Amino acid sequence: MLGDVLDYLTDGANWSGETGIGAFAVQQLLLTVTALAAAMLLGLPIALWLGHLRRGGFLAVNVSNIGRAVPVFAVLLVLSLGPVGSGELGPYGRAGLATLVALVLFALPPLITNAYVGMTEVDRDVVEAARGMGMSGRKVFTTVELPLAIPVVMTGVRLALVQVWATATIAALVAGPGLGRVITRGFANQSTAEVVSGAVLVAAGALVLEGLAVLVERAVDPMRRAGRATRGRPLPTA
């Protein structure tokens, strides 16, 4: 089995063409990045501002619960058969719009929950001290609360990224784009090696994205950067 999978993955013919692994991988990555970016634009500003105001906790929690309870495949199926349809959407392929909408809805819960929690967990004494120094609400938000909340916010982004990448595979069940097409084609051809190869590609992609997200998370964390800068300074002499 492992030999057959390796042969399949190292065969250049399986990577080329419109129905090759390369094209499907690009589609899945494009779906993931687009859905995550749209979800961040929709969810993060509202969640961060509600967290700043310390309001809307009921909304944040329930959005997360509803998002986890609703099956993504059911949403995708309704969208592809309903008003959104399953037509071609440029580089996203067949049912691209329906897949994007379903993935955006799936990405919102971890983004909203983590952003809200990250803001509300900022030490109130620090916030009050900043206000006591004469900082406006906007200044407190941008220079105190947001930098301290970034680690939790970025954890939500990382979770959403990996979840969306893995979930985008189900688009193949409605003849949509992505690496799931390799798996469904393997089932249709009764090729276990092809099915396993598709699963391996999805899992490997998730690991790579997880690692990249961790590196980005560390790079954008202002507290971590400040700590490195402090450690790099020479100690004052008496």
The pLDDT, as a whole number, for residue 210 is 94
Which domains can be identified in the chain, with CATH numbers?
A: 2-225 (1.10.3720.10)
Instruction: Write out the two tokens for 191.
Output: 């090729």
Q: Which helix (H) or strand (E) holds 208?
A: helix 192-220
The pLDDT, as a whole number, for residue 89 is 79
- What number of CA atoms fall less than 13 Å from residue 81's CA on the CB side? 8
The pLDDT, as a whole number, for residue 228 is 59
Give dist(CA 84, CA 218) in Å, integer.
38
Each residue's pLDDT tens digit, 157-195: 999 999 999 999 988 888 788 899 999 999 998 889 999
Question: Which among 106, 121, 107 is positioned nearest to 48, based on CA atoms?
Answer: 121
Secondary structure (DSSP) of 48-99: HHHHHHT--HHHHHHHHHHHHHS-HHHHHHHHHHSSS-S-B-GGG-BTHHHH
Angle 57-63-68 from CA coordinates, rounded to 5° = 130
Each residue's pLDDT tens digit, 211-225: 999 999 888 877 666
The pLDDT, as a whole number, for residue 236 is 53
The pLDDT, as a whole number, for residue 56 is 77
Question: From its phi and psi, is residue 56 left (phi > 0), alpha (psi between -120 and 50) or beta?
Answer: left
Q: Tokens 């071609």 appear where?
A: 88
pLDDT tens, residue order, the chain (238 aa): 788 889 888 888 889 888 899 999 999 999 999 999 999 999 999 899 888 888 877 777 777 777 777 788 888 888 888 777 777 777 888 888 888 988 998 899 899 999 999 998 888 888 888 888 888 878 888 888 888 899 999 999 999 999 999 999 988 888 788 899 999 999 998 889 999 999 999 999 999 999 999 999 888 877 666 665 555 555 455 4
The pLDDT, as a whole number, for residue 235 is 47
Based on DSSP, count helices (H) and strands (E) in the chain, helices before strands. 11, 0
